[in-house]
Chain A
Amino acid sequence: MKGLIKAILVLCFLSGCQMLGAEQDIRPMQLSQNAVIDQEYADEAKKIILSMEEVVEIKGVSQKTDIYLAPRVKHFDRFRLKEIRKYGYDSVKKRYPDATVHVSTDQKIFMELEKLEQELKNKTISEERMEKKLKKLDEMMKG
């Protein structure tokens, strides 16, 4: 029994250290003019946020002057989520002062934006439905 417990403890410590390394470089999806609605704002904003050290992946969509962004933050940096959101918001706002920027680190928003990106890319979404979906997302981000 004692040996088993020791083995489990050692395993726990070892597997805890496996998290480091294995970093992928994921490019943000660039939609620009191929999408149903012009995604130039979102593309640029995605690049800006992804250049942050803490962000590993990003999804984002823009509609006119509204930019919706959902970065996925590195595991250990999740302690500073609020700070990262603020920094991301500020840097995008600096690039586009007249745009309305929404940054959320919620996993749900990330998933929804991923779906939206795919739909925009495949052109399987209409402008009205997109507007409706974004309105819903906006409410989720607030609530």
Chain B
Amino acid sequence: MSSSKKKNVTPAQENYQKLASKHEQKRPVAKNCIRAFLVGGFVCLVGQGIHVFYYTFFDFTQRTASDPTVATLIFVSVLLTGFGVYDRFAQFAGAGTAVPVTGFANSVASAAIEHRTEGYVLGVGGNMFKLAGSVIVFGTVAAFVIAIIKTMLVQWGGL
């Protein structure tokens, strides 16, 4: 219940709100956190496994193996999204599946699937980045700002 909604209410409404909040189910924050921690860690463990696999059996070094690792994870999560498995997984884990790169891939793929009926251009093309667009925009802007700060520090600050 946001505090802005508490203004301009009759006493009866206020009473009702109190009653409702008493019966409202509490969000299990601690449980959610632990779930997110464990599942997020599991996703990272899988990623690390793929990473080790790539530099052990292919011609990658530890540094260059990260690119195919990310590509593989994205591919797998897009596939799982298409099959409808990822939704259930994310329902259980919450932020654990949303924060790693798999969550980003899921948000793009699910938006694309959802709007496919509206056509390829205006549907898929127009709605694909509905969720992920903000991540891209703010990521690019933040990178740009930080690059400017770093350039200034290096050029004139002599860092």
Contacts and interface: CB of A to CB of B under 8 A. Distances in A.
Interface in A103-143: 106-109, 111, 140-141, 143
Interface residues of B, number: 11
B34 A106 contact: no
Interface string B37-75: 000000000000000000110001111110000000000
A26 interface: no
B31 A140 contact: no
Contacts of B56: 108, 111
A40 B145 CA distance: 51
Interface residues of A, number: 12
Interface in B54-107: 55-56, 60-65
Contacts of A140: 61
B61 A109 contact: yes
Interface of A: 1, 5, 8-9, 106-109, 111, 140-141, 143
Interface of B: 30-31, 34, 55-56, 60-65
